[in-house]
Amino acid sequence: MVSFTVIGESSSDHLARKIASKLKSKYIGCELRVFPDGESKITLKTKPKGKIVVVHSVYPPVDSNLVRVLALVSQAKKYSSEVYVVIPYMGYARQDREFLPGEVVTMSLVAKMFKVAGATRIIVVDIHSILALKHFQIPTKNVTAIGELVKYFKRLHLKYPLVVSPDMGGVERAKNFANMMGVDYIALEKHRDRKTGEVIIKSKNHYEVRNRDIILVDDMISTGGSIVKAAEHLKKQKCGKIYATCTHALLIGDAERKIRKSGVTRIVSTNTIPGKTSMVDVSPVIVKAIS
């Protein structure tokens, strides 16, 4: 087995330690100091050796975490020609194209910054869009946490479960999830106003949800708007319990409270973003992609 040194910083240290242990590699932590003006100063605790794996999610504060991971990559490059960067949650992936005239495709700049910093390979988990990865000029790999989430739900013994995607864009994800669970799936028709961000569900009645436990599957939950609207719609159709699951639970502001109020029994996410709902570990799929 190739020997790696895994570097983690506070945003992903728990996951980084799990990855290091599975790779039977050394783990190096960092000291983070945030100056009164908001600047981050990072100090590596020990000198890394061999191939290096930097593990660092880019979740809020997104810009600070982005600079921190780039700083770690550039430092790692001083010790190794091979720097793998695991970005379990890749912020900016939703800005992968120009939706409205004049919008900056910031993902393209972010991708260039990783190359300039010294990254030689990028590994992400359930990135919002594969197009986002096309902006990188170095090898990339997107791994999926769906299999790990499915293992969790198989243990719950739900009542005649139905997998539901809150929007048409997530239909493939829902299909894969449902196939692995051995159950049916449907996708709702969601519309989001590109200027105000407001979400509405345009779907008509879905009688097939009646009395069935629902697994609402999305790649990420941010403000909770999509899940809330989907849950309200499904409740009106008299479904059973609703479980909301995603790979990345950002849960901005009071998203969690709003989601529970809309009738969701449990939110289940992965540890790409640590938090109360991150019950599923993605280190096995990441390690597979590295080794």
Name the H helices within the chain: 13-22, 62-77, 106-117, 130-133, 146-154, 171-181, 225-236, 255-261, 283-290
Among positions 20, 216, 221, 231, the unique one binding ligand R5P when judged by CB under 6 A:
221
Give the dihedral sign, CA 282/136/57/60: negative
141 belongs to the catalytic site: no
Sequence-distant (≥ 6) Cβ neighbours of residue 60 within 8 angstroms: 91, 250, 252
Among positions 219, 242, 282, 287, the unique one binding ligand R5P when judged by CB under 6 A:
219
Among positions 84, 218, 256, 277, the unique one binding ligand R5P when judged by CB under 6 A:
218
Q: Does 165 bind ligand R5P (CB under 6 A)?
A: no
Q: Tell me the pairing of strands 184-187 and 190-192.
A: unpaired
Q: Does 224 bind ligand R5P (CB under 6 A)?
A: yes
- Of the residues 51, 190, 235, 238, only one is catalytic, namely 190
Question: Could you tell me how many helices (H) and strands (E) the chain has, helices first?
Answer: 9, 16
In whole angstroms, give the CA distance from residue 66 to residue 11.
Answer: 11
Q: Does 129 bind ligand R5P (CB under 6 A)?
A: no
Q: Does 275 bind ligand R5P (CB under 6 A)?
A: no
Instruction: Considering only the stretches 117-125, 217-225, 236-244, 271-279, report the one whose residues sit in contact with ligand R5P under the rule CB under 6 A.
Output: 217-225
Among positions 169, 240, 275, 284, the unique one binding ligand R5P when judged by CB under 6 A:
169
Sites of contact with ligand R5P (CB under 6 A): 166, 169-170, 199, 218-226
Active-site residue set: 190
